[in-house]
Amino acid sequence: MKYTLLFAIFFSFHLSAQKTVSGRVTKAGGGVLSGVKVEAKDAPMIFTLSDEYGNYKIELPEEVTSLVFSFSEMATKTVKIKDFIAINVKLVPAKYKTFRYGAGLSFGTSRFTVINEISPGYGDTSKITLTPISLHADLFYRINKNFELQGVFEDGLNYTKYEADSVTASGDTIKVPKTTGVNRFSFSVLLNYHVKLDRTGNHSAFIGFGPQYQHFSFLNTNTVGARFQAGVNINNYGKTTKLYLAIDVANGNFNENNAYVPGLPYTYFSSRFGVTFIF
């Protein structure tokens, strides 16, 4: 009877011995996940949910050695507890890829300031103004929680205003404003830096810069310059909407075969705003 009582006390103590495990659940691409189910492996009746900040805490029997993290549209992850009781987990979308991709639309204004070297003594300059509407495809690689590489392939139609010579019936030459379409292609490689705007990290601000190449068919010129951008990210379980403002700057020379401004040097400045949807 004595030994039976001691065994019962020991067995009861063994069953009641527990450990507390806590941590935070985040998602690939930034931000936290609330409502993630955190359960003891092989004991699905023991579980908890992460709160609005992604934090969780769960009481477990000593014999439980692993936790299972599951959430809709995310890949389920199993983590061993081992000797530590603080477990932070990052979940990725079930169809997550190493390189994320996106598509976007931008609108803005651009200007070539052309230096007329034919009459340099007069300091003659002219301006070619463009209104670009562009579609772009993007590739993203998140280096760490703050830095991200972005490649932008942009193509679009630019509505260009310029002045052309026109000869009247009396023989006078006048300037006539005209508008035409310009095919434009550009490629940029940007390094973006992100800063969280809220505790969850679902909203972040970013700034970025990098080299840019552009080709304008109508003006028969290629430019190599730089792009600067800033904006905000809105994360939603692995999908992101990026709102941004971009500025492009470059210097160059028009091609000698250009029918409008052959061989003349120019400076280029462009500002545009846009939206990118990242998947």
**Percentage of residues in the chain having pLDDT higher than 90:** 39
pLDDT for position 94: 74
User: Does the pLDDT of residue 10 top 80, yes or no?
Assistant: no
Average pLDDT in the 252-265 region?
80
What pLDDT, in 10s, does the model give residues 121-149? Answer: 544 567 777 887 889 999 998 887 789 99
Q: Compare 54 and 16 and report the one with higher pLDDT.
A: 54
How distant is the alpha carbon of residue 205 from its chain centre? 10
Is it the case that residue 12 has pLDDT exceeding 50? Answer: no
What mean pLDDT comes out for the span 183-208?
90
Query: What Å distances lie between residue 35 and 74, 79, 100, 199, 217, CA to CA?
Result: 12, 18, 24, 16, 52
d(CA 191, CA 72): 31
pLDDT (average), residues 55-69: 91
Element (H, E) at 174: strand 173-196
With 70 as the cut, is the pLDDT of residue 195 above it? yes
Contacts of 246 (CB under 8 A, 6+ apart): 106, 108, 227, 228, 229, 270, 271, 272, 273, 274
The C-alpha angle 227, 180, 154, rounded to 5 degrees, equals 30
pLDDT of residue 6: 45
pLDDT category at 11 given cuts 50, 70, 90 is very low
Phi, psi of 160 (to 5 degrees): -110, 130
Is the separation of the CB atoms in 246 and 272 below 8 Å?
yes
Mean pLDDT, to the nearest integer, of 45-67?
92
Cα-to-chain-centroid distance, residue 57? 32
pLDDT above 50 (res 161): yes
Segment 206-257, tens digit of pLDDT = 999 999 999 987 778 888 999 999 999 988 766 789 999 999 999 988 888 7
Domains in the chain, CATH or no CATH each: 18-91 (2.60.40.1120), 100-278 (2.40.160.20)
Residue tagged 């006048």 (tokens) = 174
Strands 43-49 and 55-61: unpaired
DSSP string, 29-41: TS-B-SS-EEEET
Q: For 183-192, what is the mean pLDDT? A: 93
Q: Are 224 and 251 in contact (CB under 8 A)?
A: no
* pTM for this predicted structure: 0.69
Looking up tokens 């930034």 gives 30
User: Sorting pLDDT into bands at 50, 70 and 90, what band is 46?
Assistant: very high
Does residue 161 contact residue 177 with C-beta atoms inside 8 Å?
yes
Q: Give the model's pLDDT for residue 118.
A: 52
Q: Name the pairing type of β-strands 125-142 and 147-167.
A: antiparallel
How far is Cα 109 from Cα 104, in angstroms, rounded to an integer? 17
CB 254 within 8 A of CB 261: yes
Mean pLDDT to the nearest integer, 10-27? 72
Q: What is the pLDDT confidence band of residue 9, given thresholds at 50, 70 and 90?
A: very low
Residue 263: predicted pLDDT: 80
Mean model confidence pLDDT for the chain: 82
Dist. CA 8–CA 239, nearest whole Å: 54
Query: Does the pLDDT at position 14 exceed 70?
Result: no
What is the structure's pLDDT at 169? 59
Q: Is the pLDDT of residue 177 over 50?
A: yes
CA angle 259, 250, 133 (to 5 degrees): 75
